[in-house]
Structure 1
Amino acid sequence: MESESVRQTLDRLIQERGDDYASLSRMLGRNPTYIQQFIKRGVPRKLAEDDRRRLAAHFGVSEQELGGPPGPIGRAVHNEPQLVSDSRDYVLVPHLTPDGKVLPTEASPASGPESALAFQAQWARSIASGGVEALSVLRVDGDSMYPTLAEGDHILVDTADRRLRDGVFVVRTDESILIRRLSVNPTTKRVRASCDNPNYSSWEDCPPESLDLVGRVVWVGRRL
């Protein structure tokens, strides 16, 4: 299928579903403008295989409609919160991978066998700034944020909340994602990104534009 036709098809599906470009981009673990640039500017020229697969599953269409090979219609939406046991009281929140991408709920993250965690829907909505579809689960690896966060803790990351201010955020680096406590200097507006564990070094006096925020940490759960 020609790239222009693919872009038109994707735009139509988005409009019919009532989705928006930024939310779909976050679902793919991409920059918020990724889908808009693909549709409006043709950048990239075609969807990556994994992005195409996940979008087809999201909209319940064949990958062929999005420029892929002929195949079956995509399965149920994998990143939007899903009903648990046909109950509307709970939603499934998918995991983030160590490189900051959102996993399909049917996949297994490297950190453990579970692919998603279930949360009470009303509570999840109450802490999500941009809707529960923007929430992701991350398993804490290491002790850099101890005692606030311990290894093995599960945190909820609100990927719609990336307004730079004081708080605990997930930050994307060149190769991975890290959890850091951000403190903004009210005078210079430059940022200190620190670890709560004093044995780890901090990033001092960072320009705001140097920080790629994945989202704000809004909840932590741990096994006693």
Structure 2
Amino acid sequence: MKLDTQRKRILELVAHRDPPTDLKKASLACGKNHAYLHQFINRGTPRKLPEDVRYALARHLGVDESVLRADRDALPAVSRPNRFTPSPLADQRGGAGVIAVPEVRISASAGGGAHLEQEPGGTDWYFDSGWLRYELRAAPRDLRIISIDGDSMEPVLQSGDKVMIDLSRTAPSPPGIFVLHDGIGLVAKQLELIPNSEPPRLLIRSESPRYQNYERTLEEVNIVGRVIWFARRL
């Protein structure tokens, strides 16, 4: 059968995964029999990849689940309340093994929120390219560094900490710390998808007991990216 874009994308991601995998291992990682993905790609069975399988496969491949959506290429670009734009990240001065990750001059509030108004334009942070790709499992073009402002995520994150966010990881599964716009401002919070909620709802949680947890529907928030690393001045 002629492969569509989704099936070609899965084959490409499987072929380039590090550590290596194959369709058999990926099928088993999704909780299916070893031939499941082979049949899906080459025989068209099932016709549509179920949502739970898509999320499990995305976790196995280390990508956001949206990358595996069948209609991804047909969807219009979603307008986000931010001004992040891709930029060349290779550091020509530092050699091929060094990657520049730009610091964006905005603050993600860990308290009451902060609006995304300022343009990118901070300093660059330089990291070993192998460490970014293999340790953090991140594509350099998707990375930004921003500052935390507020105390609601203490002691995990403190005001003034620098955090690296991966803009490609916007699915709140598995749970983790994300930077999001919750309808009021830009915040850094623990996100967890509430099981069996319809429409899907998120639990938005602070680390500090001084702040109340709250809920939003998935459509009410704009998840900017997942926090994957932080730095703190001692």
1:138 aligns with 2:149: no
In the TM superposition, residue 170 of structure 1 has moved relative to its aligned partner by 0.4
What amino acid does structure 2 have at the position aligned with 1:216?
R
What amino acid does structure 2 have at the position aligned with 1:198?
P
The count of residues paired between Structure 1 and Structure 2 equals 145
* Correspondence for 1:202: 213
- Any idea what SS the aligned residue of 1:215 has? strand
Q: Which ranges of 4 or more aligned residues in structure 1 deviate by more than 3 Å?
A: 98-104, 173-176
1:119 aligns with 2:127: yes
* Correspondence for 2:37: none
In the TM superposition, residue 84 of structure 1 has moved relative to its aligned partner by 5.5
CA contact (8 A) 1:81 1:92 kept: yes
In the TM superposition, residue 86 of structure 1 has moved relative to its aligned partner by 3.6
Question: Which segments of 5 or more consecutive residues in structure 2 lack a partner in the other structure?
Answer: 1-75, 108-114
* Mapping 1:1-224, distance limit 5 Å: 33=77, 79-83=87-91, 85-96=93-104, 97-98=106-107, 99-100=115-116, 104=120, 107-108=121-122, 115-126=123-134, 127-129=136-138, 131-165=139-173, 166-174=175-183, 176-188=185-197, 189-204=200-215, 206-224=216-234
1 CA distance for matches of 2:195 and 2:184? Answer: 30
2 CA distance for matches of 1:174 and 1:218? Answer: 23
* TM-score, with length taken from structure 2: 0.54
- Any idea what SS the aligned residue of 1:122 has? helix
Percent identity over paired residues: 25
CA contact (8 A) 1:94 1:103 kept: no
Structural RMSD (CA): 2.9
In the TM superposition, residue 124 of structure 1 has moved relative to its aligned partner by 1.3
2 CA distance for matches of 1:93 and 1:174? Answer: 27
CA contact (8 A) 1:153 1:221 kept: yes
In the TM superposition, residue 33 of structure 1 has moved relative to its aligned partner by 0.8
2 CA distance for matches of 1:175 and 1:218? Answer: 24
Ranked by relative contact order (alpha carbons within 8 Å, sequence separation 6 or more), the top structure is 2
* Correspondence for 2:66: none
* TM-score, with length taken from structure 1: 0.56
Cα separation, partners in 2 of 1:80 and 1:132, compared to 1, 3 Å: same
